[in-house]
Structure 1
């Protein structure tokens, strides 16, 4: 992936971004005094909006500021969707933070916009061998690592053991088995499986990617063109339309990830696809159901062993506009100190798995009731991380993969089919053409 200055925001903003996305880099002012003491203010944007994670990050920042009294860390929190809008619209004016979290696909766009600084030295300082090579490679270009993974998780299939047992059903291993089980369980106020395709999120892209990748395909060709009209992709589109029509609430045509997950949290769906964050959601909303939930690998078309599809290695980045990158790097090192790191992971146990080797084997990490109770779920999720990638990253990091998830074209395609009755193949071709036009514009 070549680093270019085009940003993909919307079709009408592409040309503007090309000329304004790269402002003149500001001179870095010294953030370390002659004595070696850190001094300066930084802003940290993150999307850990849930209470425990937000509180743990704030506590780490407070401790860091106590240790470095001339440093001030201002933390601002945005939802993932709001964060994307915030940084893409703010980049041209320089209204971006010193450091932030991001999604892997967004990092590809940030690199493309020449908005980040490499973190090679930070990673080497922490210990390059402590991170899986694949997690570092996702956000690397030309030997430079532009992000560092804070935690990992993978998408898996969540079930309700009690509902399966009451209906004499086995855990589905194929997509056909899942459909039949979901159809059977759509009764008594419970939906078998919700299909979300709200255009403010990339959940429909995620679900279609599950199906296509499980069949050995991809939503991108080897030369990074959109591929929504292959036989496998059309089969996947029709599969999810069938699920929507027969097993899903009709409101899910507008669902984002939280709407989708909340149904499972509240016991209103029998199956869902998500990470270990489902555990915390169920615990908060329906604690009596905790004993009945568990997860298994995502189904395959033929029932063969699933080795992983969608993995998220949650990255942190330092922005090129930062006046104090040394403070950012020092604070990041703080987050990886074992005591701080384990406390952070325990804020969402099983939801956030260590991105650093060896932490999962420590007594301090294991000493958590949720991790002990959901040892099977942790084992399943961990088994799916090595074989998965971020959506579209099976071909390596690319701006095309970022556009695939961030522009919501596939969501709009499903909405067009469901709402307007547009022919599946016609809608798929239109979406494919739109994505390819965005890909081409981003590389000019």
Structure 2
């Protein structure tokens, strides 16, 4: 992929969804007779719903870059198709890749380094922990899609009824939990779903824990770090 085409693909990624640049080459014609740049065509694969509508909106507002979209299956079937396309030399320029699948796609040699093409606008829109999810080996391999915030809803009427202050910190949460149980011995402030890994992962990340990373040429796994033991998700409320 040429430099101008790479920047166009990164711009597309920033405007649309999280995409890793899959190793391939996008088409770019020669300049027109009057010297203006020819239209760059980028191929984009994704299983995300409404992607075609997003592509249509992008194409309407960009004259120098046009996107050709193809819907692919989600899950293992979709990643298998991407991997096979890379091996066959006809992979898309841009594709959706989940955060958790990024290391595997990188290990297979399916991605291009986009470190030099990530703009300050992209960096400013995502916090450092999200940027770290797309940075491996000191290089950036994709543009982030989003950051799924974890929120907790509460019964305002019950808190007001028992005159319990809504907690804003984990220390206050612990105090409020005791107050809820005292006000109604059959009640609890919340319930930690033992089958929902997202809660535990998010709380561990908030506490500063890193379960895995890269050390030299190997993976480093750390599941029992001090940060993990401090995580509020490891105890009962």
TM over 0.5: yes
Q: Equivalent residue for 1:227? A: 223
C-alpha distance in 1 between matches for 2:29 and 2:180: 59
Superposition pairs of residues 328-347 of structure 1, within 5 angstroms: none
The question of 1:30 aligning with 2:31 is answered no
**How many angstroms does 1:129 deviate by?**
6.7
C-alpha distance in 1 between matches for 2:227 and 2:118: 42
The question of 1:62 aligning with 2:50 is answered no
Q: Secondary structure at the match of 2:45?
A: strand
C-alpha distance in 2 between matches for 1:128 and 1:71: 21
Superposition pairs of residues 106-255 of structure 1, within 5 angstroms: 106-124=101-119, 130=124, 134=128, 135-141=130-136, 144-152=139-147, 154-172=149-167, 173-174=170-171, 176-177=174-175, 179-180=177-178, 184=184, 192-193=190-191, 195=193, 197=195, 203-204=196-197, 206-212=198-204, 217-219=209-211, 224-228=220-224, 233=229, 239=235
Classify 1:63/1:221 alpha carbon distance in 2 versus 1 (closer, same or farther; 3 Å): closer
Would the aligned equivalents of 1:136 and 1:147 in 2 still touch at CA under 8 Å? no
**How many angstroms does 1:195 deviate by?**
0.9
Q: Equivalent residue for 1:105? A: 100
Q: Equivalent residue for 1:45? A: 46
Classify 1:123/1:171 alpha carbon distance in 2 versus 1 (closer, same or farther; 3 Å): same
Q: Equivalent residue for 2:10? A: none
Classify 1:34/1:216 alpha carbon distance in 2 versus 1 (closer, same or farther; 3 Å): closer
Would the aligned equivalents of 2:199 and 2:233 in 1 still touch at CA under 8 Å? no
Q: Secondary structure at the match of 1:115?
A: coil
C-alpha distance in 1 between matches for 2:133 and 2:39: 31
Q: Equivalent residue for 2:15? A: none
**How many angstroms does 1:209 deviate by?**
3.6
Structure with larger RCO (C-alpha < 8 A, sep 6+): 1
C-alpha distance in 1 between matches for 2:104 and 2:112: 13
Classify 1:182/1:86 alpha carbon distance in 2 versus 1 (closer, same or farther; 3 Å): farther
**How many angstroms does 1:44 deviate by?**
3.2
**How many angstroms does 1:194 deviate by?**
5.2
Classify 1:229/1:32 alpha carbon distance in 2 versus 1 (closer, same or farther; 3 Å): same
**How many angstroms does 1:146 deviate by?**
1.3
Please report the RMSD computed on the Cα atoms of aligned residues, expressed in angstroms. 4.6
Q: How far does the alpha carbon of each residue in 1:331-381 deviate from its partner, in whole angstroms, 9 at most, with x for none?
A: xxxxxxxxxxxxxxxxxxxxxxxxxxxxxxxxxxxxxxxxxxxxxxxxxxx
**How many angstroms does 1:186 deviate by?**
7.0
Superposition pairs of residues 87-98 of structure 1, within 5 angstroms: 87-94=78-85, 97-98=92-93
Q: Which has the larger radius of gyration?
A: 2
Would the aligned equivalents of 1:185 and 1:192 in 2 still touch at CA under 8 Å? no
Q: Any stretches of 5+ residues in structure 1 without a counterpart? A: 1-24, 198-202, 244-444
- Runs of at least 4 residues of structure 1 off by over 6 A? 234-238
C-alpha distance in 2 between matches for 1:232 and 1:143: 24
Q: How far does the alpha carbon of each residue in 1:259-312 deviate from its partner, in whole angstroms, 9 at most, with x for none?
A: xxxxxxxxxxxxxxxxxxxxxxxxxxxxxxxxxxxxxxxxxxxxxxxxxxxxxx
C-alpha distance in 2 between matches for 1:68 and 1:132: 28
